[in-house]
Amino acid sequence: MPPQPDLSGRPYRGSMPNTRRHATLSGVAALAVALTAGGAAGAQPMTAPLPTGSEPVVLDPADFTTRITNPYWPMRPGDRWVSRETGADGARQRVIVTVTRRTKVIANGVTARVVHDVVSRRGRLLEVTDDWYAQDGAGNVWYLGEDTVEYRRGKPVSREGSFEAGVDGAQAGVVMPARPRPGLRYRQEYYAGHAEDRARIVSLHEQAQTPAGHYTNVLMTRETNPLEPRVLEFKFYARGVGAVLAVTVSGGAEREELVRKTGVRSG
């Protein structure tokens, strides 16, 4: 077992999305080429005690809350994101993500907020997921698993991708660090052979245009998965809003953009 990091309050104590999901971005094409070739110019790797691969982490349930206030991904009960996902063939899907008032005690002991995610096309269900999130005392948002069901012709056909931290070797990951900096790497989830998403912070100063509006000072991540080595995705998060855009630039050509969000407080 690899040595455990010093977890005493920096940036989490103790040891995701499921962000699978474009807008007009400043220089996104050039930036994608540069990153694929070896990283953003000038971005220096940053060491931090966040998990990056398969290493086990032990979370202290007392250090976690279901009150998620991270500015790049605030999740208040009742918040609702409606997004449009467009495939390479032009087919569109509707994605609705709702923060519920429900909580769940995860197998690793942490109590998580349940976030309900529904994907449909022309009114027909494609996938329904309950994702589980919690925030640690430093402000990192952790992803603790998901219960997902895929549908075909209105009937459930698969639960592939479901996992729970603490069950069958599955481990929690981080979906939004408390202190994002260019070069910071972290895993978003880990369930060997099933869920191994990883991310790296690219920039905190991008722009994005979606049907929901124009956003500045947007956080941009570069996301990969060793189970799908050809796939490369960039995601964009606006302060006070959360995820606004996702663009697959290799291994696909999907684009998901925020259409509207409700439940955002003014000020």
Digit-coded pLDDT (tens) for 127-186: 999 999 999 999 999 999 999 999 999 899 999 989 999 999 999 999 999 999 999 999
Whole-structure pTM over 0.85, yes or no?
no
pLDDT at 10: 34
- How many structural domains is the chain composed of? 1
Is 117 within the bounds of a domain? yes
CA dist 70 and 219 (Å) reads 13
What percentage of the chain carries pLDDT values higher than 90?
78
Is 2 within the bounds of a domain? no
And the tokens for 138? 């430093």
* Residue-number span of the structural domain to which 203 is assigned: 24-262
pLDDT at residue 19 tops 50:
no
Whichever domain contains 254, its CATH number is: 2.40.360
Is 267 within the bounds of a domain? no
pLDDT at 132: 98
Is 3 within the bounds of a domain? no
pLDDT at residue 37 tops 50:
no
Is 13 within the bounds of a domain? no
